[in-house]
Amino acid sequence: ELEELGCEAIRVAVLDLEAAKAIGEIKKGIHIPLIADIHFDPALALESIRSGADGIRINPGNIRGKEGLREIVELAKGRGTAIRIGVNSGSLGRELLKKYSGPTPEAMVESALSFVKKVEEMGFFNLKISLKSSNVLDTIRAYELISERTDYPLHIGITETGTLLPGTVKSAVGISSILMKGIGDTIRVSLCSDPKYEIIVAYEILRSLEIRKRGPELIACPTCGRCEIDLQWLAQEVEKRISDIKVPIKVAVMGCVVNGPGEAKEADIGVAGGRGSGIIFKRGRLLKKVVETRLLEEFIDEVRKTASEYGKSS
Ligand code: SF4
């Protein structure tokens, strides 16, 4: 389901050997890289790599045993498996917390770079790094600092952001601030909600920054005293009914004919509400007038027609 929505890499928590062995089975059913998230037990990392995980995410500081990390690194090297060194502000070592008087960005960076050094000394360089905190400003600062000190790919995101609405805002503010500095190679939106929203929100962030375009962009006005139709309902219905379209067309749903088409003239296809009717406009030009009871159906037909023309010269 997530792959269909545009997810390009997926991570699963591996809690026991049975889970590690299941990686091979999962991979048979998907077409995107699968990353195993490992804590504490090196045997789980080793089994995940043997089962075909494309990458593993570890926090080297909590891998048990003196030889555990070395064994993981040696096997990953032989198999070409990438390793993500993931540092969370909540799991920093005691010494660093004391040195920096808390889980500061500087402490996260020092922790990550010391693990990187350890792994590099074992002759391993197929690495990426993440520094996650639920504090947006600390996360931004941590990525700024580390990007000045390493060229490894950086996986960015704000962790434990909360439920859908506040989590979306925090993720958008944090991730886009980091991306706007030219930092970041992969992103993860973390929400305490259905995981499909993580992909949807991620694409909205990338679309806003014009980094990626996928699927329709819905433009809808906030309504005002001029609006004479139930625009919230119409916009939500349109959003639902066009969510399967993959091409990046702009679709506008506007409340009135006075300002609607003009405000949304960049849209490929749009609708503007009137009294008991609405007009459908295409690239700013009037296409047809439709009675309100038929407006949704006719508009969806026109959106699909516009999507099917995408990429062909008009
Ligand atoms: Fe108001 Fe019309 Fe603008 Fe919507 S498009 S905000 S209804 S003026």
Minimum CA distance residue for ligand 1 atom 5: 260
Q: What is the mean pLDDT of the chain?
A: 93
Q: In this structure, what are the phi and psi dihedrals at residue 224, rounded to the nearest 5 degrees? A: -155, -165
Strand order across the 277-282 sheet: 217-220, 250-254, 269-273, 277-282, 285-291
| Pocket lining for ligand 1, CB < 6 angstroms | 221-224, 226-227, 254-256, 258-260, 263
For the CA of 263, the nearest atom of ligand 1:
5
- Summarised one tens digit per residue, pLDDT across range 99-153 is 999 999 999 999 999 999 999 999 999 999 999 888 999 999 999 999 999 999 9
Which candidate, 185, 172, 188, places its Cα nearest to that of 7?
Answer: 188
- Summarised one tens digit per residue, pLDDT across range 140-149 is 999 999 999 9
Mean pLDDT score, 88-92: 85
Other CB atoms within 10 A of residue 67 CB: 11
Strand order across the 127-132 sheet: 10-13, 34-37, 55-58, 82-88, 127-132, 154-156, 186-187
Q: Residue 304's pLDDT band (boundaries 50, 70, 90)?
A: very high
Q: Return the best residue to mutate from 226, 231, 279 for the ligand 1 pocket (most ligand atoms within 8 A of CB).
A: 226
- Comparing 27-41, 71-85, 257-271, 288-302, which segment has the lowest mean pLDDT? 257-271
Give the model's pLDDT for residue 313. 52
Q: In this model, does residue 231 exceed pLDDT 90?
A: yes
Q: Residue 65's pLDDT band (boundaries 50, 70, 90)?
A: confident
Give the model's pLDDT for residue 257. 86
Give the model's pLDDT for residue 285. 87
Mean pLDDT score, 230-236: 94
Mean pLDDT score, 265-271: 91
Minimum CA distance residue for ligand 1 atom 2: 256
Cβ proximity of 249 and 270 under 8 Å: no
Q: In this model, does residue 203 exceed pLDDT 90?
A: yes
Total-model pTM = 0.89
Cβ proximity of 174 and 140 under 8 Å: yes
Q: In this model, does residue 314 exceed pLDDT 50?
A: no
